[in-house]
């Protein structure tokens, strides 16, 4: 059995019958299928491991498909392999064996225990009580991480070919509490555009305006400006735009019980509205920049 066989399938793309606009939704961190071998190797129970999930985010955005926009979602959990990282952000202290020479072992995310294969979840709780093999980590990357990105890139490219531009909305969730001494409430939504570099202003401005009009408090780029996916899929000069959206979990779930609350349905409807409004941005504003006429 290969790593990907344990998930059956490890991820999926759900396409609408008719595409209405150049918008793709992605949920890379809502996976909740935990391999038995992983659970046996972990020192933490399943409930603790699940705190790192973007629980139910794939369900929150599922309605966009009926509105005419494709979505992609992972079924494997982010603490098993995280596709919102570089392919080889790995902590050498975690592994038996030598990492490849090209591995990035010094990133801030690795230092925090949140590399491509995570060392910790939640409030810096160690996942493993012993080292895991380098081969295990590399198998996760080859069998899950790389196919995920090949598929997402292919989908994004198809939308771009169809409309001449494409917008990727990368959807995540955040704990309602910061876990720090700063006890100010978090915004309802944080939108990240890598400080204006991953999409044209019209995309981020539209998202912020729509969400505010629906009654949500919105922050931009603080504390989340966008991760690997936002940075590497967004290329506005080529007509490729990426926006990260972080939803406050208190909006739609009981974080302790890991259960949806009645307000879940409202937020799901509002995500459909957001999709429609982004799709209404004139294509001329999204297509590749053109040199001024000579």
Q: What is the CATH number of the domain that holds 9?
A: 3.40.630.40
Strands (E), 125-275: 125-126, 132-133, 166-174, 189-192, 218-220, 240-248, 253-254, 259-260
Which tokens sit at 212?
A: 């505010």
Note down the domain range covering 227.
4-77+143-286
Query: Residue range 273-294: average pLDDT?
Result: 83
Residue 293 scores a pLDDT above 60: no
Instruction: Quick: pLDDT tens for 145-197.
Output: 999 999 999 999 999 999 999 999 999 999 998 665 556 678 999 999 999 99
pLDDT of residue 290: 56
Distance CA 188, CA 206 (A): 16
pLDDT of residue 42: 96
pLDDT of residue 291: 40
Helices (H), 34-133: 36-41, 46-49, 57-61, 63-67, 108-111
Task: Tell me the average pLDDT of the chain.
Answer: 94
Band of pLDDT at residue 209, cut at 50, 70 and 90: very high
Taking Cα atoms as reference points, which of 219, 244, 200, 202 lies closest to residue 29? Answer: 244
Q: Are the CB atoms for 91 and 137 separated by under 8 Å? A: no
In a domain, 39, yes or no: yes
In a domain, 95, yes or no: no
- Sign for the CA dihedral angle at 277, 282, 287, 291 comes to negative
* φ, ψ at 191 (rounded to 5°): -105, 140
In a domain, 263, yes or no: yes
Instruction: Quick: pLDDT tens for 81-118.
Output: 999 999 999 999 999 999 999 999 999 999 999 999 99
Instruction: Quick: pLDDT tens for 241-271.
Output: 999 999 999 999 999 999 999 999 999 999 9
In a domain, 38, yes or no: yes
In a domain, 62, yes or no: yes
CA 225 to chain centre: 12
Give the DSSP H or E segment for 149: helix 146-163
In a domain, 90, yes or no: no
123 burial type by CB count under 10 A (0-12 exposed, 13-18 middle, 19+ buried) = exposed
- The number of folded domains in the chain is 1
In a domain, 216, yes or no: yes
Q: What is the pTM of this model?
A: 0.95
Distance CA 226, CA 245 (A): 8
Q: Are the CB atoms for 20 and 69 separated by under 8 Å? A: yes
- Omega of the bond leading into 223 within 30 degrees of 0 (cis): yes
Instruction: Quick: pLDDT tens for 119-149.
Output: 999 888 999 999 999 999 999 999 999 999 9
Measured CA to CA in angstroms, residue 221 lies from 153, 195, 218 at distances of 24, 6, 10
In a domain, 275, yes or no: yes
């Amino acid at each position: 059995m290969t790593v990907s066989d344990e998930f059956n399938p490890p991820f999926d793309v759900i396409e609408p019958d008719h595409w209405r606009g150049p918008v793709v939704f992605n949920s890379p961190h809502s996976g909740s299928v935990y391999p038995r071998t992983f659970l046996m190797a972990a020192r933490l129970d399943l409930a603790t491991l699940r705190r790192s999930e973007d629980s139910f985010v794939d369900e929150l955005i599922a309605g966009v498909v009926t509105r005419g926009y494709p979505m992609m979602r992972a079924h494997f959990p982010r603490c098993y392999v995280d596709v919102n990282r570089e392919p080889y952000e790995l902590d050498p202290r975690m592994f038996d064996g030598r990492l490849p020479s090209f591995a990035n072992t010094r990133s801030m995310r690795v230092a925090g225990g949140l590399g491509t294969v995570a060392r910790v979840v939640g409030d810096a709780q160690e996942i493993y009580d012993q080292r895991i093999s380098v081969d295990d980590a590399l198998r996760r990357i080859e069998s899950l991480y790389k196919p995920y990105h090949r598929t997402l890139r292919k989908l994004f490219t198809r939308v771009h070919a169809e409309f001449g531009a494409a917008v990727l909305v990368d959807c995540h969730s955040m704990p309602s509490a910061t876990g720090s001494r700063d006890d100010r409430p978090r915004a309802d939504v944080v939108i990240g555009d890598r400080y204006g570099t991953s999409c044209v202003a019209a995309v981020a401005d539209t998202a912020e305006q729509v969400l505010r009009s629906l009654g949500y408090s919105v922050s931009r780029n603080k504390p989340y400006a966008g991760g690997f996916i936002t940075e590497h899929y967004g290329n506005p000069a080529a007509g490729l735009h990426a926006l990260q959206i972080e939803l406050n979990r208190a909006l739609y779930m009981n974080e302790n019980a890991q259960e949806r609350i009645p307000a879940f349905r409202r937020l799901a409807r509002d995500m459909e509205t957001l999709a429609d409004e982004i799709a209404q941005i004139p294509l001329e504003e999204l297509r590749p920049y053109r040199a001024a006429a000579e």
